[in-house]
A and B are shown apart, each in its own frame.
Chain A
Amino acid sequence: MSSFSPLRRFGISFWPGLAVGAALLCLAGTIFAQIVILPQTTTVSAALDAQIWSILRFTLFQAALSTLLSIGLGTALAWSLFHQRRFPGRGALISLLSSTLVLPTLVAVLGLVTVFGRNGWLNDLAEALSGHSFGAFLYGLTGILVAHVYFNASFAVRGLLHRLEAIPAEKFKLARSLGLTPWQRFKLVEWPALKGTLPSMASTIFLLCFTSFAIVLTLGGSPKYNTLEVAIYEAVKFDFDLLRALKLALAQLAVCAFLVVVASGLRASSSAIAQARTPSIWGEPFGARCAQLGITGFCAIAFLAPLAAVLIDGLQADFTKLFAEATFRRALFTSLVLASASSVFTIAIALALGFARRNFSVPGRIPASWWTPVVSRVLAFSGTLYLAIPSLVLGLGFFLIARQFAGPLNFWAVIALLCANVLMALPFSLAILVPAMEKTALRFDKLCFSMGIRGIARWRLAEWPFLRADLGYVAALAFCFSLGDLGVIALFGNQDFATLPWLLYQKMGSYRTHDAAGIALILLALTITVFALVPRVFAGGRDAET
């Protein structure tokens, strides 16, 4: 046994992952160098600094407010859904809510405008009923908050509901037999269970809102409501003021790095398994029941109406005309190719990183020594780069690289888009795949080692059958993220190189509402199809976990 070398044994699963991890860090380093080191200019007007401060303050403010509102509404809705187990369509509503993760931002924005805009459904209804309209509240800060809450409250619901489901049934029986009021029950039973997950959930939502781009771009309305990401975009696209863009990107990088460090300290306490539940035969007190039904009903309508609006408006679009447009056909093609490519790359990179990582986390593989903590840190960090480098900063970095190296801008645009999309999907993919891969290793390591099963044979026997469902989910996730992304493309998009979201943004901007509605519907349909179909294909006909 003295000649046994773990590195030789696990090399095949270790080196590719390390190479990918190192490559990702190099990429980050290059981008960072583009933004921090290369421009040797330090003299910037005080007015610009004052502006950056003011933008930073607003970005933090809207992110904090969005987080607070999202968590608040998410908690209220999770609480209501948990207690109203017989709400009609409850199951469908829950799965729809958790699918907002992949819903293209602009599609939701378009739906929100149709429903809540100045001439939207809500105002039409209010005017018909009371002769009074709510006006144009969807512009500016309110608009940003509404859209952020739309996405993040529904994101929060799933996690919070899961927490509530994991509370032992005995606690609720206890609350019942003590005669606790719903408020006391919330304080004593439900809140302690939710509390553990809130810091990490809040920090994720805060980070998402802090780096929000498409929503602020479309609903912010005026420079008064700029976030750093939008300010970077405007500095490049409006002013062509690269120095200003760099300054903004630097501020963005600094805050993101700080947030990521803080957030990494906030791990969610481990979650328990959800328990089977039967609804209480005594039901909820009248007041609480009204509140729960009210909240659920309100959220269901507020959540579904924009999607319905996209569907209704989209069906009126002239698809023959749309498909006759060369720009549209090209955008569709580009989007599909990019989404497929980023799906493939995401899976390849996630697998490489996952295989390498489990060598360190699964006992009986590579034993700890002086270098293992460094390497496992590198592997872990390379998967979460996106959180530290938001896509607009990434785009700006590539843009600067493109200016240094001659070559068609569109070539760099493709690379930048692929990188941004893969990096965006990676943290989610790793969160899903790594635990599953560790589980298969724990389960089959001894068997495989003793029988000498390795390489492809091991993949076929001991990995693929157990990972395929998760891989399908990851593939669909990466595809949909890429398909709906409006970030880097906003910097690089042009008539020759467009994606569907970019085209949608253009059509929205020029008030070709019919075309916009048509594209939005196509995006929505593609997303739903892929998200429903791909995991099933991977799972081989069996019901996929979603």
Chain B
Amino acid sequence: MLKLDALTYHHTNGQSQIYEFSMHSKTGQITGITGQSGSGKSTLLDLIAGFLLPHSGSLTWNDKDLTPLPPEARPVTILFQNDNLFDHLSAEKNIAIGINTSLRLSAGETKKVRQALNDTGLEGFGARRAGSLSGGEQQRVALARALVRDTPVLLLDEPFSALDGETRATMLDLVGEIAVKYHRTVLMVTHDERDCSAIADQHFTLSNGKLHRV
């Protein structure tokens, strides 16, 4: 279980703002978080992913304190709205880099990459350069990488906002499937309530630096 207990952060860039986050999410659960832009959605994800350090409070995964861990050691994978891929590498390598950063893979690991490609609907796309893929395909590759990384928590930072309506709907369905098949705890921040109502098991809104359950 991912648990945030009075996790506080003081934003001092520009106007100062105090955030205090409390929530928990069970394994396999999809949590949707909505809020206006600037309400602190990215701050929340940055705190969980380890790009920011909280000033007080606790952040635990299955009762293990995550705050002293650097980003790469946390059981977390984060997906951004864009810039998730290395454009000059192939789709396959972009996924493989999630397993081994030097891109040296065992036979078993290569199979795992293939499996992830299949599970995200990317059969036959493996050799394509990431930069040549469409926006939706790129996010699928990023999702596939999240699958091979075997981190139980998946953070989605407005992952589909840049996509058109239809692609977006299929991508949301895909996230739903993955959460079930791979037992991922998913935290998805979005500015669109409909994204949440489509797949989320629980739904929070973010305002005045606090999470409110809907």
Contacts and interface: CB of A to CB of B under 8 A. Distances in A.
A and B touch in the complex (CB under 8 A): yes
Contact of B97 (A178, A280, A282): A178
B22 interface: no
A174 B83 contact: yes
A176 B86 contact: no
Contacts of B52: 281
B99 to A, nearest CB: 10
Interface string A149-184: 000000000000000000010110110111111001
Given A168-B83, A173-B51, A282 B71 contact: yes
Chain A at the B interface: SS class: helix
A170 B45 CA distance: 12
B80 A281 contact: no
Contact of B50 (A168, A177, A180): A177
Interface residues of A, number: 19
Given A178-B72, A282-B70, A173 B101 contact: no
A101 interface: no
Contacts of A180: 101
B78 interface: yes
Contacts of A179: 71-73, 101
B77 interface: yes
A278 interface: yes
B80 A174 contact: yes
B76 interface: yes
B101 A178 contact: yes
B212 to A, nearest CB: 27
A184 B102 contact: yes
Contacts of B72: 176-179
Interface in A166-212: 168, 170-171, 173-174, 176-181, 184, 188-189, 192
Contacts of A281: 51-53
A174 B84 contact: yes
B10 interface: no
A39 to B, nearest CB: 52
Nearest to B52: A281
B143 to A, nearest CB: 14
A280 B52 CA distance: 8
A316 B50 CA distance: 56
Contacts of B66: none
A171, A181, A184, A188 — most chain B CB neighbours (10 Å): A188
A523 to B, nearest CB: 42
A173 B71 contact: yes
A121 to B, nearest CB: 42
B87 interface: yes
Contacts of B46: 173
Contact of B98 (A171, A178, A184, A280): A178
B51 A188 contact: no
A171 to B, nearest CB: 5
Contacts of A282: 50, 70-71
Contacts of A174: 80, 83-84
B86 A189 contact: yes
Contacts of A171: 83
Nearest to A188: B86
Contacts of B49: 173, 177
A176 B101 contact: no
Contacts of B70: 176, 282
Contacts of A280: 51
Contact of A170 (B53, B74, B83): B83
Nearest to B46: A173
B71 A177 contact: yes
Nearest to B76: A177
Contacts of B102: 184
A170 B82 contact: yes
B13 interface: yes
Contact of A173 (B74, B80, B89): B80
B87 A192 contact: yes
A278 B50 CA distance: 14
A184 B98 CA distance: 13
Nearest to B151: A177
A47 B121 CA distance: 71
Contacts of A168: 82-83
Nearest to B93: A188
Given A177-B72, A178-B98, A192 B84 contact: no
A16 B202 CA distance: 69
B64 interface: no
Contacts of A173: 46, 49, 51, 71, 78, 80
A532 B195 CA distance: 53
Interface in A411-465: none
A168 B74 CA distance: 22
Interface string A268-283: 0000000000101110
A178 to B, nearest CB: 6
B88 interface: yes
Nearest to B74: A177
The interface centre, meaning the residue of A170, A278, A280 with most chain B CB atoms within 10 A of its CB, is A170
B121 to A, nearest CB: 22
A174 to B, nearest CB: 6
Contacts of A184: 101-102
Contacts of B78: 173, 177
Query: Which of B71, B73, B76, B82 neighbours the largest number of chain A CB atoms within 10 Å of its CB?
Result: B71
Given A170-B80, A177-B78, A278 B101 contact: no
Contact of B89 (A170, A177, A178, A188): A188
Interface of B: 13, 46, 49-53, 70-74, 76-78, 80, 82-84, 86-89, 97-98, 101-102
20 contacts: A170-B84, A171-B83, A173-B49, A173-B51, A173-B78, A174-B80, A174-B83, A174-B84, A176-B50, A177-B49, A177-B71, A177-B74, A178-B72, A179-B72, A179-B101, A184-B101, A184-B102, A192-B88, A280-B51, A282-B50
- Give 7 closest A-B pairs by Cβ, nearest first: A179-B72, A170-B83, A168-B83, A170-B80, A177-B71, A176-B71, A188-B86
Given A189-B86, A278-B13, A282-B71, 9 more contacts: A170-B80, A173-B71, A174-B83, A176-B70, A177-B74, A180-B101, A181-B101, A188-B97, A192-B86
